[in-house]
Amino acid sequence: MTDFSDAELIQRFRHGQLHSFNLLVWRWQKPIFNFLYRFLSNQQDAEDACQKTFLKVYQKLSALKETDKFRLWLYQVAANEARDQLRQRKRQPQVSLDAISESRSDAEAGGSPEYSDPATPETDRNLYLTELRQIFAGAMKEIPAEQRVVIVMKIYQGLKFIEIAEILQESQNTIKSRMYYGLKTLRQVLQKQNFSEEVLNYEL
């Protein structure tokens, strides 16, 4: 059954073969979680949104008309859940990049770098890359969510502009504009915090 298309698994699910839904989850859980984690930059929020996404998919799958567009519909459900998580998060305190920058300045004043030299042994290299990812995740939080979601879908999920436009129900020109301004804002945020272009180049 793992060779069946999404549409075939959906049809089998509609005919009472509940195991087919489990296969859909198995197939899509990792990419959807990765999308949510990149978008939300918080593991617990991503796990919660992922669980809610597949619960809603289970509840509404029988009503899906265009089964050949299951993948796009799935991302649409996930994006909506991510937006809900962001709305809930607004009332919670956030750690800004200003605080990260202050910590960086303190470290520099004490003669120690913000992150390790990439030319050091493997363990230090891993630490260096982890710190780069943390810096980038913090910067991503600073750009508008409508731009961030496009960057994640296009660069990390490999979706086409036409697909993102359908998922977010916007025109392709709007999606391309959000991509452009999102990357521009991301560079500005990193430069403002005195982080080099290397951080952006590493992630993108």
184 three-state secondary structure? helix
Three-class DSSP category at 18? coil
Same fold for the pair 6-89 and 97-195: no
Q: What is the pLDDT of residue 203?
A: 61
Answer whether 187's CB lies under 8 Å from 143's CB. no
- State mean pLDDT over 57-64: 95
Q: What is the mean pLDDT of the chain?
A: 83
Q: Where are the domains of the chain?
A: 6-89, 97-195
> Was domain 6-89 assigned CATH 1.10.1740.10?
yes
Residue 118: the pLDDT is 47
pLDDT at 106: 43
Q: What is the pLDDT, as a whole number, of residue 116?
A: 41
Q: What digits encode the pLDDT tens for the residues 118-149?
A: 455 567 767 766 777 777 788 888 899 999 99
CATH architecture observed for domain 97-195: Orthogonal Bundle (1.10)
pLDDT tens string 3-48: 899 999 999 999 999 999 999 999 999 999 999 999 998 899 999 9
Distance CA 76, CA 24 (A): 16
Is the model's pLDDT at 70 over the cut of 90?
yes
User: CA-to-CA distance for 200 and 15, rounded, in angstroms?
Assistant: 48
